[in-house]
Amino acid sequence: MGILGNIRKDFLFLMRIGRALARVTPMARRRTRTFPDVMDDLAEKFSDRLALISDRESFTYAELNRRGNRYARWAKAEGLAKDETVCLLMPNRPEFVAIWLGVIRMGGTAALLNINLTGAALAHCINVVSAKHIIVAAELAQSFASAAPLLAGEPKVWTHGECDLAALRIDEAIAAFSETPVGKDERPALTLEDRALLIYTSGTTGLPKAAKINHYRILAAMDAFSAIMHIKPDDRLYDCLPLYHTSGGVIAICAPLREGASVFIREKFSARQFWDDVTDRECTLFQYIGELCRYLVNAPPHPKEKGHKLRLCCGNGLRPDIWTTFATRFGIGEIREFYAATEGNAIIFNLDNTPGSVGRVPKWAGFIFPLKVIGFDIDKEEPIRDTAGLCRECKPDEVGELVSKILVSAVKPGQRFDGYSDKTATEKKILRNAFEADDMWFRSGDLVRRDARGYFFFVDRIGDTFRWKGENVATSEVAELINSLDAVKEANVYGVPVDGREGKAGMVAIVADRSLALPALRQHIHSHLSAYSRPLFIRLQQEIDSTSTFKQRKADLVRDGFDPEKVRDPLFFDDVAAGSYVPVDAALYRRLQAGEIRL
C-alpha cells in the first residue's frame, strides 16, 4: 500500500471514528441520562415510525415505549428493588425488548437467558444472578421445567402466554397497569454506572458467566454503532441473531433506534429463508456473526441473493477464507467488521473493508484505544514476563494476547471493566502489574497479530492453539486452509493428546458434500501446510456442534480424540508410509498409542 493509500485509509479512520467519538464522548458529562431516558425522547421524536418488526408483532417507537412503561409499573408493583434481577427466557420478538426496557426503567437488572439451555446449565444461569423473578415464554415452558427443581431460593415465576406451568401470566398482569410515561418521582435515581443487563458468555468451555452491562455500555453501543454504520431514518436492519447476546440484542436493536430507523427481528437464522426476508422486508443493513456468512456462501444460489437492498453488513467473525467470496457473490458494498467482547473494554473497527482484519488502530490513535499485543506462552497459557516481572509488547506480525488498559475514570468510562457476577471469574480476566506497578489490563483471551500499519488479525482463542513438534499451531488458520477446498462445508480443528508424545497432534472434524475425495483433501493439506500443522486425524461428521451464536464446540471432540470406541463417525489417520488416509480401527489405535507408528 503506497503513501496515497495510507493517507486515504487514515482519512477514513479519522472521519468515521471521529463521528463515533463525537457522539459517545459527551455522554460521560450527562451521568443521569440513562437508556430509558433516551427511549422517552426517541418515542416522542419518532412516535409513529415503525421501530421493531416481526412476524409476531410490530411496535412503533411510541408503542414500544408505552409497552415498556407497563412492565416498569409491574416491576414496581412487585416491589422490585434497584439492582434486583429479573431473568427473561423468551425467543426473539419485539416483546423481549419491551420487557427488559421496563425492568431497567425501574432500576432492576434484566438477565437475558440463553433459550437453548435446559436443566443444570439453565438453573446455573438463574442461580448465579440471584433472580427475584423469572419470565418464561410459553413455548419454553418445558425447558424451564427441566431446570426448576435445581433452582436456589424461591424466585417468582411468570409465564408469557398459556402453558402448563403453574405460574402467573405476566402478559395478562400488565394489562392492569398504565402505559403513560413513568415520572421521575415514580422510579429510583439512576446513573450511567448503574447495572442494566446481565448477558451471558457463550459457554464454549465451562458454564456461562453473567457479564455486567451498565447503562453507559448500552448507550455507547447505540451511539458508536449508529455512527459506524452511518444509519439513517430510512434504514432497516435485519436481525436474526439471538436477542440474549450483545450483537443481536443491544447493537442490532439500539443502533437503528437512535436514528429513527427500524429493525426486522427474525426468531432464528435460516439460510433458506434469509434472502426472501431481506429482500421482501426491504432491509438495508444486516448484523452478522461470521459463521452465518459461511452458511450463506455454502448454500445453493438463491434467486433473490442479488436483488436485495443491503448496503452494509456489520458484525464480527467474518474469516478471511470467505470474506471476498461473501462480498462479491452477494454484492455487499460495505463490511464493518469489529472486534469486541460483551464484558470487555476493548473495541476496534475495520473501517475500510480490508479483508480479514478485525480492526485497525493507527499509531497516532493509540491514546484513544489503549491496546497492546503481549507475548504469550502457549504451553503455560499465560503472558510471558521478563526477569523484572513485566510483560513484553509484541513486534509487528508477532502473535500474542490482546489486552486493553483498565481505567476507572469519569472521563473514559468505556475503559472500565465491570466483570461478571462471579468475582473469581472477574479476577481471572484482569492482568495486573503488566508494564508498571499497579496497572490493570483486560485480558481478551484471544491471540492476535498486529501488522506495521496497525491492522489487527485474529489468530485463535487461547486454549484452541496447541503445540506439536515444538511449534504452535493456530486452529483457525488450519481450518481456513481446509475450508478453502470446494467440497468442504465446515472444518473444526483441535489438538488431541497421543500417549508418549509431547504436545498435541492435530485433528479436524469435517462436514463435506459427497464430492469430497480423501486423496484430494490430503494433497490439498500437504501442499499448503507445514508438517507440524497438518492434522494427523480426520473425523467426518454430518454437522458441527456449535453454540447458539455459531461458535464451534471443541471440548467433546477433544475428549473423544481418535479412539474408535468413542467415535462413531468415519475416522482416518494420515499414514505417511502408505501415503494416504487410512481408517482408524482398534488395532491401529493401540499401535498409535503404543508408539509403534512414527508421527
Where are the extended beta strands (E) located within 421-531?
430-432, 440-450, 455-461, 466-468, 471-473, 488-496, 505-512
Which tens digits make up the pLDDT trace of 113-149? 999 899 998 999 999 999 999 999 999 999 999 999 9
Instruction: Give one DSSP letter per residue of 567-592, joined into a string.
Output: --S-EEEEETTTTEEEE--HHHHHHH
Q: Average of pLDDT values for 47-72? A: 98
Once rounded to an integer, what is the mean pLDDT over residues 488-513? 91
Provide the pLDDT confidence category of residue 228 given band limits of 50, 70 and 90. very high
pLDDT digits (tens, 9 = 90+) for 318-344: 988 899 999 999 999 999 999 998 888
Q: Rounded to whole angstroms, how far apart are CA atoms 70 and 102? A: 7
What pLDDT score does 206 carry? Answer: 62
Q: 3-class SS at 255?
A: helix
Query: pLDDT tens, 291-302?
Result: 899 889 989 999
pTM beyond 0.75: the answer is yes
Using CA atoms, how far residue 5 sits from 10, 12, 365, in Å, is: 9, 11, 18
What is the per-residue pLDDT for 17? 92
pLDDT, tens digit, for every residue of 331-383? 999 999 999 988 888 899 999 999 999 999 998 888 888 999 999 998 788 99
Confidence of residue 411 (pLDDT cuts 50, 70, 90): low
Averaged pLDDT for residues 391-401: 96
Phi, psi of 346 (to 5 degrees): -105, 125
What is the reported pLDDT for 413?
A: 66
Highest mean pLDDT out of 20-24, 27-31, 46-50, 460-464: 46-50
Give the model's pLDDT for residue 82.
95
Q: What percent of the chain stands above pLDDT 90?
A: 76
User: pLDDT by residue (tens digit) across 190-215?
Assistant: 999 999 999 998 655 567 899 999 99
- The band of 460, judged by pLDDT with boundaries at 50, 70 and 90, is confident
Q: Which of 583, 480, 587 is nearest to 533 (CA)?
A: 480
Mean pLDDT (the chain, rounded): 92
What pLDDT, on the 0 to 100 scale, is given for residue 479? 92
pLDDT tens per residue, range 527-576: 888 888 999 999 999 988 877 666 778 888 989 999 999 999 999 999 99
Whether residue 134 contacts residue 157, with contact meaning beta carbons closer than 8 Å, is answered with yes
CA angle 457, 459, 463 (to 5 degrees): 150
Tell me the C-alpha distance between 49 and 598, whole Å. 68
